[in-house]
Structure 1
Amino acid sequence: MTEQTTINFYEKRDFGQKVNLTFSFIRLTYRSLFRNLLLFAAPIFVLSGVLGAVNQLDGMASFSGNVMFTLLITYFLYAVGTVFSAIIAGKHILIYQKEGRIDISTEEMMTFFKNDFFKIFITSFIYYLIILVGSVLLFIPGIYLAIALSLCMMIRILNPEAELSFSFKESMRLIKGNWWASFGFYFIIGIISYVFALVFMIPYLASLAFIGITSPAGVANEGFRFLVILTSAIGQLGYAFTTCIPFVGISIYYYSLREQKDDVNMQLQINEIGNIAEVKTSNEGSY
């Protein structure tokens, strides 16, 4: 079903408007958005939650090579789930912006994953690697680069033809002169997302705290071990739904910066006038 497009993403918006639009868009598309998150991203996050809980329990007892291996697998799954969430959120905005649709089918989303997953995963990996190197060399450059390059993933998702180098250069161009505003927006969106995620993680954190209090050695019996793993899985299931918040927010922020820097709306209007004039000329020539 096609809905009439009512949101113009290419618009200069203040801080509050960007935050409000983030949640307005999530409310508008939540059926399709949450369905795709449930089908694709949630299973990966749940698995990472199970492995993370096992790793946490084993690590409380003793640290070993197996714990380290499980930790690496957990981080890898978390990274994969994050990329899935970014693609799901970004494609919902892209399809709405281009076609006015608020629903993306499972088959269509699988096509997006097939076309975009690898390149977005590589983009994400390089992004975090740059931040890591910047942080190791000196902490401040890491923070600066984290914000300056923060749009790179969503640029490639929202512009499927964009190359890797372009996404980083374009992010720096758009953030230039807007670093502190970007930091503030990301901070607020991150806090909101964290609070929602924390609600789902409370049972898991409570179960860990209970084990820590009742078992100083950190060794849980089978019953409590199962409870910790279960609550961790539930927490990650809930977390999967909250991951769309920052990615929708970043996408909206990207379009706002594009309008601020490039006057995209004016260009679109000029192109539309040119197309109308061309059609009129063509029609006159046919007589």
Structure 2
Amino acid sequence: MAYIPQIEFYKKRQFGDKLNMTFVFIRENAVPYLKMQLMISGVILLLLNILMNQISVGIFNFDMDNPESFDMSMLSSIFKLYGVIFLNAIVTGAIMPAVTYGYMKAYQKYPPNEIQVNHVTEALGSKIFNLVAYNILVAITVLISMFFFLIPALYLGVVLSLGSSIIIFEDENPLDAYGRCFKLIGGKWWSTFGLLVVMGILGYVISLLFGLPRTILFGLKAFTSFEEGAPDLSGMADMSTGEQVLSIIFSVFETFGAIITYSLSFIAIAFQYFNLVERKESRGLMSQIEGMDNEAQEADDEVY
């Protein structure tokens, strides 16, 4: 007998239902899903997080009372920081949604406890390149629209948030996904916007909680630096071995928090995508009818 997932994806849902199903999916798949994210996205995010914090600490060497302290090494650190931020954006904008939606596709075929890495990473390489290209296209679109005030940029950003789901679930290329976003979201912009706002607020609170230990560490370090008579934050760069170990531990903690934060938004948008597809194309209903026809055919063919 074919596996039937407990959660039906392609289904019309009200606003509260989409929020509820996001948490239901996370609760049902918490261990296997987070395991996949940690094994694929988590390792890259952790390395980038540690590297970003190390570079950021180095920038504190700048002495505000001595402009000459801003040398080529400082400028190099700033460029490195921007480079790491760019790589981090690629991971969160391409690899994480690819893993999230790859897992959701596997969930439609296998029970959660049987989903393997190869089920999630199937054709992952080509999808990531498509997602990177799509994200660049979205960034250019939003940047250009900002010259016409904030409202067009906000409108387009919400519309195009569906693109990653379309690329993964429908195997579309970036340009086709770009156009399909406008087709699907017709009449449902506000509900999509509200979903993003709610998940954004929730994600912000979660990120604050997971970032609290590092904030306390740097706050105490800054306080100690000023207590010792330092005129600026240049003393922040001098971290003891214990503080460096704590910083790495906090990076692991923050990475886990980032995975949870982004996952909530990606999964919520996926359920909005399923909702819109069902409303426009009745894909779930047609699948049920086809399944009933197949069962009837099997019953007719049965030999007694």
**TM-score, normalised to structure 2's length?**
0.82
Q: Take 2:87 and 2:175, find their aligned partners in 1: how far apart are those partners?
A: 26
CA drift at 1:182: 0.9
CA drift at 1:56: 2.4
Verify: 1:247 aligned to 2:266, yes or no. Answer: yes
CA drift at 1:143: 0.9
Corresponding residue number in structure 1 for 2:80 = 70
Instruction: List runs of 5+ in structure 1 lacking aligned partners.
Output: none
Corresponding residue number in structure 1 for 2:199 = 189
**What is the percent sequence identity of the aligned residues?**
24
CA drift at 1:137: 4.3
Q: 1:211·1:218 contact (CA, 8 Å) conserved in 2?
A: no
What's the C-alpha RMSD, in Å, of the aligned pairs?
A: 2.7
Corresponding residue number in structure 2 for 1:139 = 150
Corresponding residue number in structure 1 for 2:51 = 51
**TM-score, normalised to structure 1's length?**
0.86
CA drift at 1:114: 2.4
Q: Take 1:240 and 1:119, find their aligned partners in 2: how far apart are those partners?
A: 23
Q: 2:48·2:84 contact (CA, 8 Å) conserved in 1?
A: yes
Q: How big is each residue's C-alpha offset from its partner over 1:177-215, in whole Å with a ceiling of 9 and x where there is no partner?
A: 111111111111122222222221111122222233333
Amino acid at match of 1:172: F
* Higher CA-based Rg: 2
Q: 1:266 to 1:104 in 2, by over 3 A?
A: closer
Q: Take 1:101 and 1:217, find their aligned partners in 2: how far apart are those partners?
A: 56
Q: Take 2:200 and 2:116, find their aligned partners in 1: how far apart are those partners?
A: 28
Q: How many residues align?
A: 280
- Match of residue 252, structure 2, among 231, 234, 243: 234
Corresponding residue number in structure 1 for 2:12 = 12
Q: How big is each residue's C-alpha offset from its partner over 1:209-263, in whole Å with a ceiling of 9 and x where there is no partner?
A: 2233333511222228626742551343223431221111111110011112222
Q: How big is each residue's C-alpha offset from its partner over 1:260-282, in whole Å with a ceiling of 9 and x where there is no partner?
A: 2222233334544665787799x
Q: Take 1:126 and 1:66, find their aligned partners in 2: how far apart are those partners?
A: 28
Q: 1:194 to 1:179 in 2, by over 3 A?
A: same
Q: Take 2:219 and 2:43, find their aligned partners in 1: how far apart are those partners?
A: 26
Q: Secondary structure at the residue paired with 2:140?
A: helix
Corresponding residue number in structure 2 for 1:22 = 22
Q: Secondary structure at the residue paired with 1:261?
A: helix
Q: 1:53·1:232 contact (CA, 8 Å) conserved in 2?
A: no
5 Å matches for 1:115-264?
A: 115-160=126-171, 162-215=172-225, 216-219=231-234, 220=236, 221-223=238-240, 226=244, 229-230=247-248, 232-242=250-260, 243-264=262-283
